[in-house]
Structure formats: structure tokens, C-alpha cells
Structure 1
Amino acid sequence: MNRRRPTLLAALTLTAAAALTLSACGSDDKPASDNDKIAGADTGTEPSKSPSESAPAEPDRPKIELPTDVTYEFEWDKTGDPVKDAVLHDAEQRIRAVDLAIAEQNALHEAYRFYSEGEAAAGSQKYIQEFIDHKARTTGVTRYYQEDLNVKDDGTASLVYCEDQSKAFNKFIETGKTDVKDVSPDSYVLYASTLRKNEKGVWVTERLVSERGSAKCQP
């Protein structure tokens, strides 16, 4: 789940947990190495429950309070299907949680780890750490649109969506300076994610790949 921040550092051109790249012919992801895994990150090998099974009690979700200058426009449609709407809700919360970890400069923040596991959690840790190393955070408005959601009978889901970073930027914490960049095709990013309903009943993101400048997402 990203701001307009392509020049802070090469690694910061990726969005939350997007440590892999989506190629033109499909995802080119590979299993994360042991060094890519964070403590406590679920590898997703445990059998998942079917969405049709009775949902467990609502878990205690982390509180996400972002700086007032970090805002979003989620244009994802409510489907009326409780399972699909739950997937979209938890995917949205993961995006917010990563920005919270960046704002609080905590690469092991409990919030994003609540909504992501395995490769996605490991990728988020690296991504957040880059901001910490440069004493920077996100600012501005990020728009999410053109979602395509498919929920499977095995308790997993695939979510593809676009992100508009044209009004979102890097902000350096010590100086308060905002790194404003011109809008370009690279301001628009395509994401493909895999989610799984865990034992708590939360749709956690297990894998996330991206393609910056995707023709699918251009205005």
C-alpha cells in the first residue's frame, strides 16, 4: 500500500512491502530468504480456513492514528459482500499501518505486522527502515483506484489495484522540508497482492508486487 517519493532513495520508489517487481508478463516474485524475514512474521504455510466458515471473535485491532497531513482517497467500491468488503478493509488498513510505522520511525511496528505476514511483512520492514535511515516520512494525499478483487474458496484472495502518488511526497523530519516532485508516468503504480484469512479472522497480505509507471494506471 504509497506516496510520491521516487528520488529520496532508489529503494523508496517501492511502496509498502513492495520489495519485488511485477513484470509485464506477470509476477516475478520468489521466496524471501531467511534474512528477509522479520521476527514473528508468519510464512503462510499453515492451512487456511474457508471464508464460508464461521468467523472468529473480532480481534483487538491496533489503533492507527496518522499525522493530519497524511491522507488517502480510497475509491474502492463497497461490494455488499461481507467477505470481499472485509478483504478491502484489511488491505486498506495495511496501507495505513505502514505509513504509521514510517511516521513513528519504527520498523517493527505492531500495526503493519498485524495486517501482513511472510514476504509482505519482511518487505515492509525493509521499506520502513529506509525512511528511518533518512529521517523521513510520508506526507500528502494518496489515491487508490481500479481495484480488481478475487476471493477464492481456499481462504485466500488476490487484489490488484492502482495508486496515484501525484499529490504525495517525502517529508524530512528534522527540517520539515517536503521533497515536491513533478508529476510523471512514474507517479502511478500498479500493485498485485495475495491475502489470506488468518486464525484471527484478519485478511493479512502475504505477498505484494508492483509496477511503477504502469500503463493500466495512467490518468
Structure 2
Amino acid sequence: MNRRPTLLAALTLTAAAALTLSACGSDDSSKSKDNDKIAGADTGDKASASPSPSEPESGSRPKISLPSDVTYEFEWKKTGDAQKDAVLSDAEQRIKAVDMAIAKQDPLDKAYRFYSEGAAAAGSEKYIQEFVDHKARTTGLTRYYNETVTIKDDGTASLVYCEDQSKAFNKFLKTGKTDVTPVTKDSYVVYAGTLRKNDSGVWVTERLISQRGSAKCQP
């Protein structure tokens, strides 16, 4: 997702593999140091604790509704370029839609699939399923920063950005317990993705890879 080929070459993990929920056997098991939280989007949008359905209507974007304890800080800046700003906006919505699918415990939720296709959609489905299997969802604040967006000659876009998961955690649905874990270098994740503008004018993410502990993202 970025202009840095050396960075892209270093990113070898898929988003699903890099951000898996810890394989704990019960709700009171401790989480791994990965501080496993998938991406979400939008600046501090709050909704009821029971997310509403998000069935995309024909020709319209899906409604995104998240629990009030799932919040975001997007430091992505407007570029002044209409295409680049649209890429950032749709990437943000994809992130948010994945968190909503986790909250709804629905690995096939239509909202995140509205903003992703191919390998990216498959990776998100697998990742969401991990939360469903452990009856958990995300909670807390996630920050996004250090973004770089490039429109390529073939019409696709590349996007690289950082995620700060130091204040984001797993919350188990049965007990309501939040698994608060220590902050380490692995709390900071770099992502690289490829997006394509579809026939509906939506920039869908086709590929997404990530790496924890990247020097690019450390505070």
C-alpha cells in the first residue's frame, strides 16, 4: 500500500495472521502480547451496545453502527486530491465495518464485504471468525497515523498506515471481562494494502498485509 518497496517486501504476514485473537481456552485466560485488535474506523463515532444491522441497499453504502466503547482516532490528513481522499475514506469505512462484524459476531456481514474483495475479504472473514469462536469482540481506543496513499498508473491505489493498539483490547461477551494487556512494541502495527475503484465508485481493498513491531510505527 505504499510507495516504499522495501517496506512492502518486509511485510510477510496477512492481516488475519498478524492480528489473531489469542488461542485462549476460556474467558479468563490471558491474551497474548499481540494485543489483538483489528482495525476500525471513523473519529469517535458512538452507537448503542447492540450494533444495528448493516445490509447495504442497492446503490448505497452500508450503515455502520458500533458499540459505544469502540472508538477511534484517525490522524489521516486530507490530501486535497479527490481520489486520494476517497481512498482514505473508504479504507476507514472498511476498518470500521470489520469491527462492526466482530461486534455482531457475523463473519459474513455484508458491510465489510462492501469495502473489500478477494484476499482482503477472505482474511477479514477468517479474523472475524476467530473472535466468534472465542465469543469476544474489540473494545477501547485505536489510533491510525503515518498514512501514505499513492494512485498508480494502472488506476489502483496503494495505502500504508500505522495502527496503535495500545489502548485497544479484547472483551469477552459471556463475562464482560476486558483483557487488558501490557503495551509493547508489538502494540504498533503497520499495514500495506492495494485498493481498486469498482463500478459503484467504491475503493475496495483487494489485498492487505501487516507487520507487528515495525520501526515505522513506534511512538
Query: Under a length normalisation based on structure 1, what TM-score does the superposition of the two structures give?
Result: 0.76
Identity among equivalent pairs (%): 72
Residues 133-162 of structure 1: CA deviation (Å, up to 9, x unaligned): 000000000000000110123220000000
Letter in 2 for 1:208: L
Residues 17-54 of structure 1: CA deviation (Å, up to 9, x unaligned): xxxxxxxxxxxxxxxxxxxxxxxxxxxxxxxxxxxxxx
Structure 1 residues 47-126: aligned runs within 5 Å = 59-126=59-126
Structure 1 residues 119-134: aligned runs within 5 Å = 119-134=119-134
CA contact 2:37–2:169 (8 Å) conserved in 1: no
Question: For residues 84 and 138 of structure 1, what CA distance do their matches in structure 2 show?
Answer: 28
Partner of 2:10: none
Q: Which runs of 5+ in 2 are unaligned?
A: 1-14, 24-31, 40-57
Letter in 2 for 1:154: D
**Aligned-pair CA distance for 1:166:** 0.2
Question: For residues 156 and 20 of structure 2, what CA distance do their matches in structure 1 show?
Answer: 31
CA contact 2:38–2:99 (8 Å) conserved in 1: no
Cα-Cα RMSD: 2.2
Letter in 1 for 2:93: Q
CA contact 1:14–1:210 (8 Å) conserved in 2: no
For CA contacts below 8 A with separation 6 or more, give which structure has more relative contact order: 1
Q: CA 1:193–1:109 in structure 2 vs 1: closer, same or farther (change >3 Å)?
A: same
Residues 146-194 of structure 1: CA deviation (Å, up to 9, x unaligned): 0011012322000000000000000001110000001000000010000
Q: CA 1:6–1:61 in structure 2 vs 1: closer, same or farther (change >3 Å)?
A: closer
Q: Which runs of 5+ in 1 are unaligned?
A: 17-57
Partner of 2:178: 178
Partner of 1:20: none
Residue 8, structure 1, aligned to residue 22, structure 2: yes
